[in-house]
Structures are given as C-alpha cells and as structure tokens.
Structure 1
Amino acid sequence: MNSPRTKTADPAPVPSFRAVLWDLDGTLVDSEPLHVLATAAALDSLGLRPPPGYDDGLLGVSEEGVHAALVERAGLPLERAAWRDLKWSHYEGLLPGLKPRSTTFTALRRLADMGVPMAVVSNSTRREVDLALTAAGLAQLFRVILSRNDVTYGKPDPEGYLSAARQLDVAPHECLVVEDSVPGAMAGLQAGMTTIFHPQHAAVVPKGAIELAPEGDLAALIFE
C-alpha cells in the first residue's frame, strides 16, 4: 500500500505502512464537545465554574492531568475517582449523540474493508474508550484497543503506540498514526512512526508530523 504524501517544509518520501494506529477522542469520534459539556455540568452540580481558558493545553491530556488542572484552576474538591464518577454520570447521557469524525470516517471504513490491521491507542480510560467505540459503532473495526489503563505512561510517552505495534506484530516504522492533539502526535513520532497530525482546530504542527488541516480529507491524503 502506498503511504500518504503531503507538502512539508522539508519534502521527503513517506515510508509505506502496514498498520494504522488511531487516537480516539477528536480523531475517530467527535467526543470533545461531549466531554466539555459533561465537565461543565459536573462542575455546575458542585457550584463551580470553569475559569476562562482553563482547558488550554489539555487537549489529548490523560484523565489524571485534566483532574489536576481542575483542582488547581477551578478549585475542584473531589479526588480523581469521585470526579470520574460524577463526570461520567453526565457524560453517559450524552453518548447517544456521539458520531464518527466526518473527515476520517471514509478512510477508516476503506482501510477496514481492505483488511489493514488497525488499533486504537487512547489517553482515555478503558470505560471511556469502550463506551465511545460502542456508541459510534466502531469497536469491531480494531484488532487492538489500548486505553490509559493498559499502559504505565500515557501520551506523549510512546508506550501505547509501541505496545499496539507489538500486538499487531508490525514494526514501528511500518505503522501510520493518526492524531488530533500535540501530545498524541508527539507519542507517535517518538515511537518512530509516520504520524499525521489532524487537529480539529488550527494548531502548531509538531516537528516531523504530516499536517492535515482540520477540514482536510484523510482518505484523499492516504489514497490519492
């Protein structure tokens, strides 16, 4: 299979790939708005308000990092487990509205139809990952599914992507990573994998990543 090519500051051939490793939230599914709504509702139930810009820099950050930021910036009084349960009591009610991300869905289905080995590598908890994939109807497309609970270190550490490659029996340099966050893209790059950075909003592209604009078509990048 030919790998994607795009114009970069230092054009170079992109290696071919045998497997595709996907981030979940914001890349495969449009879950970020649901997380924002659930967080706001959970804070409101405690009589708290998120300060302006509290979530700056938190895209792609693991649950423990987000919890720490809420404690520091919003005065959250709950321990992480209690906060998780409270937020999830709101988030689960929003899941029927979860949809695959339109700019990646065509590529995902085409790769699945071609039998390309695929994995999900997420900084979200196992519960979040399983519920989101089931709600979006995507769970059956992946041979390997890794959550934050399945690794010692979350993104930007490359552990999750390297573990997924081992489980798929594919070398890291033969893997293509698709990410929407800077920490996730850094994890893919540090794993030695070709990494497409496809954010939902304009962002600084991590050095070495292939940029796909927020409105870009992933299938066109990969197959055309």
Structure 2
Amino acid sequence: MMLPLPEGEFDAYLFDCDGTIADSMPVHHQAWLRALEEYGAEFGEELFYAWGGRTPASVIADLNARQGLTMPADAVNERRERFFEELLPGVRAVPEVLEHIEAAYGKVPFAVVSGSGRESVTASLKALGLLDRFDVMVCAEDYVNGKPDPECFLTAAKLLNVAPERCVVFEDTDFGMQAAAAAGMAAVRVPPPWQRHSSKIN
C-alpha cells in the first residue's frame, strides 16, 4: 500500500537510502557486527536502530567513548563497507517507497540524502536498478553536521534549486524526521522492517 503524502504541493522528493529506499538496515547491522567483532565492540540491534541516520564516523566515535575502545574509524568503516557489499545481493527495495518513486519519476526531481558514504549508497541503488532515477546525491562526505541537523536536506534542496518548504522527505529514522522538520520540510515516515514485514504475514 502506498504511503500517504502530507497535504500540499511538492516540487522535489528527498529520500533517505538505507531503510527507506533500500530494505537494507538488517544487512547493515550484520555488516557492522562483523566489522566490530575483532575489536570486541558491541552494537545491539536496539541501539543500531536508535542511531539510524547517523554517519559511520559518529557511530564509531560514540561506540569508542561508551565502551572504552580506540577503534580506528577509517579501518572499521572500510571493513563495514566491504562486508555490506558482500551481503548486498540480498537487499530489495522497500515496496511502499518504490511505488512513490515509480509514480513521481519524471514529474518532480529526486534526491538521495543519506548518512552513508557515496560508495555504499551508489552500490545499493545500482543493485536495485534505481541509480538513474536520482538527480542529486547528498552523502556523508557532502556535509559536516549529520542528522538530526538539517544541513544534509538543505544541501539537497539547494542543489535541486527548490525551496525547502516545497520539498517532501521520505525517512525511516527519528534523527531523519527531526532533520526534515528542522529544515522546514514535510516528511513521510517509512515503517521499520518488523512492522512492514509483519503486516504482510498477518
């Protein structure tokens, strides 16, 4: 079933990637666990989803601080990316979001706005056959302050030359929804995997 849009007219659609376009959050969690294993770091599922939308560098920094570790951010993130790419063939698009992409493609410009790196986002969209749908990509390398700061969404709106209040954001995380609100944008909340999957079973 297509997710309802907020009231109003919109000149651009801004999509988070992981958990929004791509049903990839469970795969990302597996990749994180494998990357952190050699350092003895813990990253439980509840915390992983609570921190959804944050940049990998900020996640590693906070895990270090919480657990008294000194994991090298670049090395851990490279390992995580490698494991994610190995698991990527199993990822599918979120059907409720794919419906919006297919319905509005060619009518309004699209942007991907992600806390993940460009390499990871590009790999996900290529695997889903959706890379050519997006006019703009704003990834972790393209801004300083991660979600819930609005910088990433405001950057996308500027690149698309669309006023923030004329953008609608598709997001699956609390941080992402807070960032959209701070940017003055309407937003669509994408349900988490367990809600979407359970509704199909019942």
Does 2:99 correspond to 1:106?
A: yes
Distance 2:81 2:43 in 1: 21
- Following TM superposition, by how much is the alpha carbon of 1:168 offset from its aligned partner in structure 2, in angstroms? 1.2
User: Which blocks of at least 5 consecutive residues in structure 1 are unaligned?
Assistant: 6-13, 203-212, 216-224
Does 2:86 correspond to 1:93?
A: yes
Give RMSD over aligned pairs: 2.3
Q: Which shifted more, 189-198 or 49-58?
A: 49-58
Distance 1:88 1:22 in 2: 21
User: Aligned match of 1:150 in 142, 164, 171?
Assistant: 142
Distance 2:175 2:165 in 1: 19
Runs of at least 4 residues of structure 1 off by over 6 A?
none
2:48 match: secondary structure: coil
Q: 1:56 to 1:143 in 2, by over 3 A?
A: closer
C-alpha contact (below 8 Å) 2:125/2:131 kept by paired residues? yes
C-alpha contact (below 8 Å) 1:51/1:74 kept by paired residues? no
2:116 match: 124
Distance 2:36 2:176 in 1: 27
The amino acid that maps onto 1:127 is E
- Following TM superposition, by how much is the alpha carbon of 1:86 offset from its aligned partner in structure 2, in angstroms? 1.7
| Structure 1 or 2: more helix by fraction | 2
User: Which blocks of at least 5 consecutive residues in structure 2 are unaligned?
Assistant: 198-202
Does 2:5 correspond to 1:4?
A: yes
Q: 1:172 to 1:125 in 2, by over 3 A?
A: same
State the identity as a percent: 34
2:130 match: 138
Per-residue CA deviations over 1:16-74 (Å, capped at 9, x if unaligned) read 11111111110000111111111122233x16262655436212221122112332445
C-alpha contact (below 8 Å) 1:175/1:193 kept by paired residues? yes
What TM-score do you get using the length of structure 2 for normalisation?
0.86
Distance 2:98 2:162 in 1: 23
Distance 2:43 2:114 in 1: 26
1:83 match: secondary structure: helix
The amino acid that maps onto 2:74 is A
How many residues get paired?
194
1:163 match: 155
The amino acid that maps onto 2:48 is D
What TM-score do you get using the length of structure 1 for normalisation?
0.78
1:24 match: 17
1:92 match: secondary structure: helix
Please identify the structure whose Cα radius of gyration is greater: 1
Q: 1:74 to 1:35 in 2, by over 3 A?
A: farther
Distance 1:47 1:4 in 2: 43
The amino acid that maps onto 2:185 is M
Per-residue CA deviations over 1:69-104 (Å, capped at 9, x if unaligned) read 332445554210011122222111111112111221
